[in-house]
Structure 1
Amino acid sequence: MKAPLNRRVFVIGYAAATPLGRTFDRTWNNAAAGLAGFGQVTRCSVQSLSRVVGEIPDWDPAACDFVDPKEAHNWNADFVILTMDVCRAALADSGLEINDQTAPKTACMVGSALNGTDAFRKAAETLRVKGALRVSPYLLPNLCANLPAGKAGMMLGFTGPVFSPQGACASGNFAIGLGARMIRDGDCDFVLAGGVDTCIMPEIIHGFANMNATIKVGKNDRACNDPSLASRPFSVDRKGMVLSEGCGVLVLAAEEAITAHGLVPRAEVAGVGWSSDACHFTLPSGPTIVRAISAAIDDAGLAPADIGYVNAHGTSTRKGDFTEIQCLRAVFGNYLESLPVSSNKSQIGHTLGASAAIEAALGIEGMCRGVILPTINHIPDPELGDIDVVPDSARAGGYECFLSNAFGFGGTNCCIVFKGV
């Protein structure tokens, strides 16, 4: 194999669809306003106290202007159409034109935790009610993890590698990290990297509820009459995550390609750190998370004191939030007391494989604007010690580098350091 080119990698654009907004701009504006995107589930009927979820407002795959009725019928795994839509928006935001020169050098990798689960449940119901011959011949493609990226390529015209990094709830960061490595080494010049999950369905909601991962909102919970209060990372009364749907895609580019095509960098992918716990399939492990965080900072050529903000994984679970703060304390020491640490999941919920990509985009936008997004719904937890979670409202604050954490089921960890330009 040829020696790597050791090129610098930058983010030149991004897009997202989240419970806070159908577009990235709406998501950002609502996040900066301190809003949350939660409500009672409307996409399906459930028999659970875990019925507060995050749904993308005004999201209807069939309403996309590139989808006709036949396309909507055949591609009935919502993560396919959603990825196509967000990839198109990300490319437009970046200013990158896909043509004969750029198409072969543009890759796409979009991770997902659950893939086309919704298409499978529709096929199972069709088999039960209408019989074997009515099961869609499109079922298997709808289940393929790489198909969202592949369909985006068919629509947008890029012909570089397309695949799906499978890192559970860290999938988005794995896509960014792998994409950056591919650009660094010279395999491609541009990468659309991110994550997607369309998970609001009864089986998934009940499954998370029965494993005590999602919040059960009873009549005495403060979110009973106001669902916006359901997700409360680092709060003393946190009870579990809010399950959400979403998609986020970043466009990465080599430094030389940015200059050659007259594009504008917004942040550098400065360092990547990854590890696995080899411990438990859901509970986080401190030592290996510390290693991933430390490796990302070291890969960026920085010291812990150079990090100006931490975009935390912050799921709003008892064990997860506690472990993450303990790990940050192990890496940053006393400096942690003056380091802003906030969780976008307090406003967006947990979008599973999409979460890290959405959070990276929000962190970069905040770095460009000089704004630190908040952790809303916060009541201090003495057990976590003295930490600045940017409680309740966004604040003005510049940071030149930030750490974005992502941890997933199976003990998979991926942390990325982004640097301003």
Structure 2
Amino acid sequence: MRPPQNRRVFVVGYAAATALGRDFATTWRRALAGEAGFRRLSRCVVETRSNVVGEIPDWDPAALPGVSAKEALVWNAGYIFLTVEMCRQALADAGLEMDAGSGPRTACLIGSALNGSDAYRIAMDNYTKLGPLKVSPYLLPNLCANVPAGKAGMSLGFTGPIIAPEGACATGNHAIALAARMIQGGDADFALAGGVESCLIPEIILGFTNMLATIKVGERDRAYNDPGQASRPFSLDRKGFVLAEGAGVLLLAAEDCVRERGLRARAEIAGLGWNSDAHHITRPRADTVVACMQAAIADAGLRPEDIGCVSAHGTSTKAGDSTEAQCLRAVFGPHLPQVPITAAKSQIGHSLGAAAAIEAALAIESMQQGLMLPTINHIPDPELADLDLVANQARRQHCEHVLSNAFGFGGTNCCLVLRGL
């Protein structure tokens, strides 16, 4: 094998669809204004108090350019057209055209925690109600994790490697990290990397409800009359995360290709750390989480005090937020009160495999604008008083390096250090 080229890797474009909006610009505008994108579930009917969710507003795959009525019918796993559209938007945002030079050198690494579970549900409904011949012959490709990236390539014209990383709620960061290593080593010049999730079906909603992961909104909860208050990371009254659909895709490029193509670098993938807990399926292990953050900072050639902001995993669960705070104390020590912390899930919910990629895009835009997004719905928790949470409204503050955290079921961890430009 040839030696790695050790090229620097930059972010030159990004796209997102979230509960705040079906494109990045809308998501950013509403996030900066301190809004939340939550509402009562409308995608399906489920008898549960965990019925406050994050739905992408006005999302209709059949209305996308180039999607016929038949295409929309047979490709009924929501993550497929979400992937295609986000890849298209990320390329457009960067101004990169797929041609004879770029197409074969563009990889696509888009992951999902649950893949085509919505398509499987439709197939099972057809099977039980209409019989075996009504199971779609497209079911299997709808379930194949790499097919969304493959469909994006067919639509947009890139022929580099397509891979579907799967790291549960850390999937987005895993995809970015793997793509960065591919470019750094010379296996690709460009990469579309991120995560996509279409998870709002009864079985998934009830599964999270019954494992006590999502918030149950009763009549006495402050979100009962205002669903926007349901997600409250690091808040005294946090009670579980808000399940959300969403997608985030970053376009990465090698330094030499940025120059040659006249692209605008927004940020650099400066460092990454990844490991696993070997501990518990859902409860994090503090020492390995600490090691993951430290590895990302060291890989960037930095010290903890060089980090200007933390984009926290911040799910809004009692134990999860407390453990992440504990780990941040171990990493930053007495410097922690000087490190601003943001938690985007307060506004867009937890979109599982897509969450980290969306949060990375928001963090990069924050560095570009010199504005830190708010962690809304916050009531101070005395046990977390040492955290400098950017609470309830945006803060104007320059930041050169962001530590972006993501941790997932099965004990999988992936942290990135993003350098602003």
The answer on 1:411 being equivalent to 2:411 is: yes
For residues 46-70 of structure 1, what are the alpha-carbon distances to aligned partners after superposition, in whole Å with 9 as ceiling and x for unaligned? 1100000000000011111221011
Within 5 Å, give how 1:122-137 maps onto structure 2: 122-137=122-137
Number of aligned residue pairs: give it: 421
Structure 2: tracts of 5 or more residues without a match? none
Partner of 1:194: 194
Partner of 1:392: 392
- How far did 1:420 drift? 1.4
- How far did 1:382 drift? 1.2
Provide the C-alpha distance between the structure 1 equivalents of 2:334 and 2:89, rounded to a whole number of angstroms: 41
Within 5 Å, give how 1:95-106 maps onto structure 2: 95-106=95-106
Amino acid at match of 1:383: E
Partner of 1:333: 333
- How far did 1:109 drift? 0.5
Within 5 Å, give how 1:66-85 maps onto structure 2: 66-85=66-85
For residues 284-342 of structure 1, what are the alpha-carbon distances to aligned partners after superposition, in whole Å with 9 as ceiling and x for unaligned? 11001001100000000000010000000000001110000110110001111111011
The answer on 1:112 being equivalent to 2:81 is: no
Partner of 1:91: 91
Partner of 2:227: 227
Provide the C-alpha distance between the structure 1 equivalents of 2:85 and 2:149, rounded to a whole number of angstroms: 11
The answer on 1:169 being equivalent to 2:169 is: yes
- How far did 1:112 drift? 0.4
For residues 239-266 of structure 1, what are the alpha-carbon distances to aligned partners after superposition, in whole Å with 9 as ceiling and x for unaligned? 0000000000000000001111111100
Partner of 2:151: 151
Amino acid at match of 1:205: I
Provide the C-alpha distance between the structure 2 equivalents of 1:206 and 1:122, rounded to a whole number of angstroms: 17
Provide the C-alpha distance between the structure 2 equivalents of 1:420 and 1:31, rounded to a whole number of angstroms: 20
Provide the C-alpha distance between the structure 2 equivalents of 1:226 and 1:348, rounded to a whole number of angstroms: 15
Provide the C-alpha distance between the structure 2 equivalents of 1:64 and 1:10, rounded to a whole number of angstroms: 29
Partner of 1:51: 51
The answer on 1:260 being equivalent to 2:260 is: yes
Amino acid at match of 1:235: S
Aligned partner of residue 323 in structure 2, secondary structure: helix
Provide the C-alpha distance between the structure 2 equivalents of 1:25 and 1:385, rounded to a whole number of angstroms: 33
Provide the C-alpha distance between the structure 1 equivalents of 2:154 and 2:145, rounded to a whole number of angstroms: 16
For residues 93-119 of structure 1, what are the alpha-carbon distances to aligned partners after superposition, in whole Å with 9 as ceiling and x for unaligned? 011110011111000000100000000
Partner of 2:13: 13
Partner of 1:321: 321
Structure 1: tracts of 5 or more residues without a match? none
- How far did 1:180 drift? 0.2
Aligned partner of residue 6 in structure 1, secondary structure: coil
Partner of 1:368: 368
Partner of 1:140: 140
- How far did 1:155 drift? 0.2
For residues 213-246 of structure 1, what are the alpha-carbon distances to aligned partners after superposition, in whole Å with 9 as ceiling and x for unaligned? 0000001101110000000000010000000000
Amino acid at match of 2:246: G
For residues 26-63 of structure 1, what are the alpha-carbon distances to aligned partners after superposition, in whole Å with 9 as ceiling and x for unaligned? 00000000000000000000110000000000001111
Within 5 Å, give how 1:236-251 maps onto structure 2: 236-251=236-251
- How far did 1:385 drift? 3.1
Provide the C-alpha distance between the structure 1 equivalents of 2:377 and 2:386, rounded to a whole number of angstroms: 17
Partner of 1:275: 275
The answer on 1:300 being equivalent to 2:300 is: yes
Moved over 6 A (4+): none
The sequence identity of aligned pairs, in percent, is 64
Provide the C-alpha distance between the structure 2 equivalents of 1:62 and 1:410, rounded to a whole number of angstroms: 35
For residues 369-413 of structure 1, what are the alpha-carbon distances to aligned partners after superposition, in whole Å with 9 as ceiling and x for unaligned? 000001100011112232111110111011001100000000000
- How far did 1:83 drift? 0.7
Amino acid at match of 2:288: T
Provide the C-alpha distance between the structure 2 equivalents of 1:96 and 1:284, rounded to a whole number of angstroms: 39
Provide the C-alpha distance between the structure 1 equivalents of 2:3 and 2:385, rounded to a whole number of angstroms: 47
Provide the C-alpha distance between the structure 2 equivalents of 1:4 and 1:131, rounded to a whole number of angstroms: 54
- How far did 1:130 drift? 1.2
Instruction: Give the TM-score normalised by the residue count of structure 1.
Output: 0.99
Provide the C-alpha distance between the structure 2 equivalents of 1:184 and 1:347, rounded to a whole number of angstroms: 33
- How far did 1:8 drift? 0.2
Partner of 2:62: 62
Aligned partner of residue 114 in structure 2, secondary structure: coil
Aligned partner of residue 302 in structure 1, secondary structure: coil
Provide the C-alpha distance between the structure 1 equivalents of 2:218 and 2:336, rounded to a whole number of angstroms: 35
Provide the C-alpha distance between the structure 2 equivalents of 1:389 and 1:120, rounded to a whole number of angstroms: 40
The answer on 1:345 being equivalent to 2:348 is: no
Aligned partner of residue 57 in structure 2, secondary structure: coil
Provide the alpha-carbon RMSD of the alignment.
0.6
Moved more, 380-389 or 146-155: 380-389
Provide the C-alpha distance between the structure 2 equivalents of 1:273 and 1:188, rounded to a whole number of angstroms: 21
Aligned partner of residue 20 in structure 1, secondary structure: coil
Partner of 1:210: 210
